[in-house]
Each structure stands twice: as structure tokens, then as C-alpha cells.
Amino acid sequence: MSKICYINLTTNEISYENYNIENLIYHGRSLTSYLVNKCTSPSTDRFDGENVIVLTPGLFTGTTAPSTGRISIATKKGKGLGMQIINMTGALPQKIASLGFESLVISGKSINNNTIIYIDKNKIEIKSLDNCNKKFVSEIISEIKTTYGNDCAIIGTGPASNNMMPLSTMFSTYPEGYPQYYCTRNGFGDIFGSKNLKAIIVNHDKYFQNICFDEKNFSIESKKLAKLIINNPICGQALPGHGSITLIKLLKNKDNIPSSKAYVPKVKLPLEEFRPAKKINKTCAPLCVIGCLNRHCKNDEEAFSAPAESEVNAALSHCYNIEDILFSKKINTRAFELGIDSTEFVFSSHLYYKAINKVPSKDDIYVLLTEIENNTILGKIIGSKTQGIYNFFRENQELEKLVTKPVINEEKNFNIALDKLFKDFENVDDLELMYRQIFLLSNLGFCIFTAFALINNKEALNIISNMYYYKTGQKITAVEMINFADKCIESEIRNEKDNAVGVIQKNIPEFTKVLYRYFSL
């Protein structure tokens, strides 16, 4: 039986609760949001010790299901506010699921500002990682792996979180190789910093030991689903052939899907500056059948550390008309070392320079990262994200349009059209049906990129329902799975209403902006 682990950083207490899906029902993202709301109250503020960080692998994470190396991480936004939730990949989700942990619930505040949570097959410990306050992310990872071994998988924060900057986020390590790690969009490194939590470490050499009710048949259905994903032109051709550049192209024109011909980079980057001479990670997690990270690269060619590099490149083009892949990589690399959201940094710098009416040079943009590193007044302003910067210059109302908005605000611009795969959904709005399927995939731990192949695909949904049975022993139809996802959405909105004083809206991944376009008329 798997278990939920409660870790209190104030008291150093660690306790466990047995988890049975038949009794609790919630799993993956839905379990994450359930636990946040169970353990907090409407009066819980962002940096209160009572606030929690909840990490929950998808139900299929740690199994042989293709492209399911995902974990949901959530916390309370603040007093009178709802929940903040992100979805991360890397080596840790499958390892922690393989150890039988259904969820980690972290509360309290440690007195040591270099606290780590160490997990292996025998124990969980709250420990200290000495002298890491001002170290860059790569140095933190190096020290952890030197101490605990290369099999360690890590989710943690960089130096920006020590200063509780809203721009700070979490990093997650890839399997052994280059790139070594990435930093997620829209994370909450400031809450890690408020708890003095530097990293969560899972030291385990196994990936696929999550228990299945019927492992043999689960594997058979997994292979069927893998074929559907691979046969999809986006998942099987464009993404592995071109990497995350595919997504930028889809945002511009959904009919401009790149061919399967491998992407040939215009620039070969100097290895000594951007990466050591070692194996390139071509997937962000084991058993991914898409391989959008670097499958399109050869060892002597340009390698992306994350899809964020494509996003930074697009953001620099949009904000400054800068088309320079080397500069994009330079910005992303430095931002990642500080543990900040690199794409949001570009938008924040743009709003700042608009506010002071200056056309910046590349050096001007780059030096803002040094200001963040040194925690200067200017660094704090840039580190407050676009909303925080706008608050400093609120007298200029023109700047408000440059504030980063939740992606759900874009839904009104698209007319989504899905097939009514099941008669039960004939009266369900197409956009709502898409959201239900997004939540379904998130609950199970699927990479959101699989949405191109799995959403609006009756065969895929039926295979997934079979997999659910072979994983849990609980029979469920595709219709019931989609309806359960709808209940999860309703539950999140209901909890938002109970907690929030502002606008109530769905909490959906940033990537949905691509799906709006892909599934629109």
C-alpha cells in the first residue's frame, strides 16, 4: 500500500498515512489540491508556517505508462487567495512514486536556512546542506550528488529563493547527462525560501516500481498507448524532430506544423561555454516516447537545456526584436543558475525599461540578472515579476497591458471544436470538455505535450481507462474518468470561492495557450 507523508519543518516530525485509492478516490493533481485545502484555512497566508507545499506524482508515474514522468506541486497563494499549482518533470517524480509515496505534505519553517529533505528506500530525514546560501543551482546539485551519489534526483531552489523573490522558482534535475536540470515556469521558490527549504532529494536507483494491480496487462495497454502517441504528427514527428520550437510555430499558425525532417541548427554553440562533453539528455524523464528535449540534436550541435530556451528566444523577439539564439541561451543559463523563471524575467525587464522610458542594449538586459543576484533594490524590483513592477509605476496606466496574465484569459479569443466522442457529452461545451481532458491527463501524470495525441481521441481514452483498471483494480470507463476530472475542476473552483476574495478562475497550465490554437476552428 502506498502512503502520504507529512513533514513538519518546525518540529522535525515526520508521520505517515496509508493511502487507498478506493477510499480516497483523489489521485495526482486532484490529491494535491485536496491536501492543500485539507491542511490550510482561508486565513493561511503565503509565508505562514501553516502553509504547505504538496508534491504528488501522477497515478501512472513510476510505471511503464509512456510519458508519465510528472508530479503536481501546489501551495496556498496567500491569505484570502486560492491555490497555486504547477506541473514538473525530471528524474524525481518516477523515483518517488517507485518508493511508494503517493504524496509529500511539507509544512512549518526550519531554523536552518539550508534545510533539505532526504528520502531513500529506508528513511526520510530532515537534514542540513551546509554553505549553500549563495551558491548557484549547478553548484548546489554538484554538492548534493558529491555527498549522496549520482543516483540522486532533486527538486530545489537557487539563491533567489533565499531573498523570497516572487520571480524565484524551483529546479528539477534530469536523469544523468546534459542538460543537468531545468527551472519551471510560474513556480513558488519564495515559499521554499520562507520555509528555509533548499531541496528535496530522492536517492533511489529505480524508476518503474510503482505497484500495479495487473502489471502484465498494464504494460500491454501502455505499449498500445505509446503507439498512438508516436503516430501523432505533433508528438511523433514535429516535437522530436524540432524540439520546443514546434510550440512557438504552432502559436503563430496552427497549420504551420513543421515536417518530420530533423531540425538543423543555424549556430553550433561552443561546448566549453554551454555544456561539458557528455551524453545529451534527449528526454526530460525516462520512458518518454516523445523526446522533445534534444532528440533532434547530435552531440556536436546546439542543445537546449529546456523548452524555456525557445520561450526566452521568442520573448526576446517579441519584447525587444532581438533575434540572437546565443544571447537567449546566455540569458536562460544565467537565470536558471539563480533559480528564477527565465521567460518571466524577459517580460519583467521589458516592463521595467518601458516604465523608465529606456531602449536597453543586450548588456542592459543582462545586467539586471546581476542586480537580482546581488539582491539590490533594483534587483528586488525586477524580482517582483511584472505585477510587482507595475505596482511601482502604477501612475502609468499604459503599463498594465504588459503585466503577465493567466493564460485562461486568452480562452475568449478561440472557438474550440472537439468531436463528441461519447454521447454523454453531446451537451457539454467543447472548451469545458477540453479542460476536463487536460485535468484527466494531469491526474494520471502524463506530460501535457501528449495532449496533441490523447485529447479528442476515443481509442486513447478507452486504453487509458483499461490502464486505470490494471493499475488500481478499480473498473472505470472513459466517460467516468472524464466526469471525475470535471468534479476535480468543480472542487478546485469551489475551494477557490471559499478562499479567494478576487476573481475566481480555473488554474490551468501555461501550455494550454497552444491547445487553444490547436483545437480551435
Same domain, 346 and 491: no
Residue 285 inside a domain? The answer is: no
The whole domain housing 420 covers 407-518
Phi, psi values for residue 381, rounded to 5°: -65, -50
Residues 341 and 420 reside in one and the same domain: no
Please indicate, yes or no, whether residues 55 and 117 belong to a single structural domain of this protein. Answer: yes
DSSP category for residue 340: B
pTM of the complete model beyond 0.75: yes
Residue 330 maps to a domain? yes
Is the residue at 173 inside a domain? yes
- Select from 402, 424, 450 the last residue of a domain: 402
Between CA 331 and CA 142 the distance in angstroms is 21
pLDDT at 270: 47
372 shares its domain with 417: no
Residue 270 CB contacts under 8 Å (≥ 6 apart), including other chains: none
Whether residues 397 and 448 fall in one domain: no
Strands in 181-183's sheet, in edge-to-edge order, are 124-128, 115-119, 197-203, 152-157, 170-173, 181-183
Where would I find the beta strands (DSSP E) of 80-189? 83-88, 101-107, 115-119, 124-128, 152-157, 170-173, 181-183
Residue 265 inside a domain? The answer is no
Per DSSP, the residues of 438-502 read HHHHHHHT--GGGHHHHTT-HHHHHHHHHHHHHHHS----HHHHHHHHHHHHHHHHHHHHHH-SS
Asked if pLDDT for residue 368 goes beyond 50, the answer is yes
Mean pLDDT of 253-264: 60
- In which band, very low, low, confident or very high, does the pLDDT at 277 lie, cut at 50, 70 and 90? low
CATH number, domain with residue 328: 1.10.569.10
* Cell numbers placing 238: 514535429
What average pLDDT does the segment 18-32 reach? Answer: 95
What is the rounded CA–CA span in Å between residue 358 and residue 350?
10
Does residue 190 share a domain with residue 57? yes
Last residue of some domain: 172, 203, 234?
203
For residues 473 and 23, the answer to whether their CB atoms sit within 8 Å is no
381, 412: one domain: no
Distance (Å, rounded) from C-alpha 179 to C-alpha 254?
A: 29
Residue 448, pLDDT above cutoff 80:
yes
Judge if 388 and 414 occupy the same domain.
no
Do 12 and 85 have their domain in common? yes
Domain count, the chain: 3
What's the mean pLDDT when you consider all of the chain? 90
pLDDT of amino acid 502? 53
Give the separation between CA 186 and CA 84, rounded to whole angstroms. 9
Q: How many Å apart are CA 465 and CA 143, to the nearest integer? A: 43
Say yes or no: 102 and 199 in one domain.
yes
Q: Which of 203, 227, 252 marks a domain boundary?
A: 203
* Domain match, 32 and 135 both: yes
- Classify residue 279: in a domain, yes or no: no
Show the cell assigned to 464.
487509458
Place of cell 503563430: 252
Q: Are residues 385 and 494 in the same domain?
A: no
pLDDT range class, residue 74, cuts 50, 70, 90: very high
